[in-house]
Structure 1
Amino acid sequence: MGLTWAESYLGKVRASIGDVDTIFFVGARTLVFDEDRRLLLIQRSDNHRWAIPAGAMELGESMEECAKRELWEETGLTATSLTPYAFYTAITYTNQYGHTYQQVLMSFIVHTWEGELLRQTDESVDAGFFALDAMPGDRSLVIEEALADLATFQETGRLVMK
């Protein structure tokens, strides 16, 4: 569907500078709810954890285009209306491969979408909508933060900045 890791911007940067240095991870993530207020989660193919659709921006893309592309690549759904609600710039993390990144990341709430949910893609081994009180166990830690930040945005009407 999309680029391989080696073909991606981050893959190329990692290949040129190695695995030790911290680099910027610029990307987007999405929250998608169905009509029953269930949250869309994917089970990632790389670590099998449940997560919200997200990923790195490619050269020439906007944050919104990145969010739409990542949602489509990971679920087969095409976002037709979305709003940014949080912007993160101060979080540094090391992934399972020992790569350290400082995030520059925008979170979007997807209001409407088209298409049929694909449960398996190149980047996910399963996907589905889950009630917030019945989400699967082995899941990404960012889900709770993303939900809390959306609640803050909805309360205040102001973009959450971290």
Structure 2
Amino acid sequence: MTVPWEDSYLGRLRAITGPEPVLMTVGARAVLRDDDGRVLLIQRNDNGRWALPAGTMELGQTLRDCAIREVYEETGLTAHTVTPFALSSGEALTTNVFGATYQHVSLAVRVDTWSGDLIRVTDETLDAAFCAPSDLPADLSGSVRPTLEQLARFEAGAPFALA
């Protein structure tokens, strides 16, 4: 189910508040890998940067379902099972291309099983591709490398990361 921005929880909230106040958001980002260990990245249509599939939770939705929905909306792939490995809630603020500022609380999940055919261009993406972790695009969102590092530590036996 794709929710147009103006109908989304955050879109409706921004319509009320305008761009000025900092809003706190809750969402999820997903690390999906193919059989060769390449990571799925999307090129965002709002800023052109390469990022992990991610987004904000909708009312009545779980974080698990948020991650699954975002993967589908941004790639056409259906995530079936996910494993959470980190929760990021740092002090850093993000200002989007429209001048609105947010503090994000984001659950990172590993997509363990998935199906479907990759759709490279969607309403939210300019492109999508599987990339080797050693050969990531230059114009990369700031959350990608830390998230991949958190996942590597988790898979090596470290506990769930809380940052």
TM-score (norm 1): 0.95
Give the whole-Å Cα distance in 1 for the aligned partners of 2:154 and 2:94. Answer: 24
- Report matched runs for 1:104-115 at 5 Å: 104-115=105-116
Identical columns (%):
46
Give the whole-Å Cα distance in 2 for the aligned partners of 1:47 and 1:93. Answer: 13
| Structure 2, gaps ≥5 residues long | none
What residue is the counterpart of 1:57 in the other structure? 57
The offset of 1:144, in angstroms, is: 0.5
The offset of 1:87, in angstroms, is: 0.6
How many residues in Structure 1 have an aligned counterpart in Structure 2?
A: 162
- Report matched runs for 1:89-128 at 5 Å: 89-91=89-91, 92-128=93-129
Give the whole-Å Cα distance in 2 for the aligned partners of 1:101 and 1:46. Answer: 15
What residue is the counterpart of 2:17 in the other structure? 17
Q: Which amino acid aligns with 2:113?
A: T
Q: Which amino acid aligns with 1:40?
A: L
Q: Could you tell which deviates more after superposition, 57-66 or 125-134?
A: 125-134
Q: Which amino acid aligns with 2:10?
A: L
The offset of 1:156, in angstroms, is: 3.3
Q: Which amino acid aligns with 1:111?
A: D
Are 1:41 and 2:11 an aligned pair? no
The offset of 1:157, in angstroms, is: 4.0
| Structure 1, gaps ≥5 residues long | none
SS state at 1:86 partner: strand
Give the whole-Å Cα distance in 1 for the aligned partners of 2:154 and 2:143. Answer: 16
Give the whole-Å Cα distance in 2 for the aligned partners of 1:67 and 1:42. Answer: 14
SS state at 1:47 partner: coil
The offset of 1:134, in angstroms, is: 1.6
The CA deviation string for residues 88-120 of structure 1, in whole angstroms up to 9 with x for no partner, is 123432222221111111000011101111111
SS state at 1:12 partner: helix
Give the whole-Å Cα distance in 1 for the aligned partners of 2:95 and 2:32. Answer: 26
Q: Which amino acid aligns with 1:7?
A: D
Give the whole-Å Cα distance in 2 for the aligned partners of 1:50 and 1:104. Answer: 20
Q: Which amino acid aligns with 1:44?
A: R
Give the whole-Å Cα distance in 1 for the aligned partners of 2:19 and 2:119. Answer: 33
TM-score (norm 2): 0.94
The CA deviation string for residues 129-162 of structure 1, in whole angstroms up to 9 with x for no partner, is 1111222221111110111111222233411001
What residue is the counterpart of 2:156 in the other structure? 155
The offset of 1:36, in angstroms, is: 0.5
CA RMSD between the two structures: 1.2
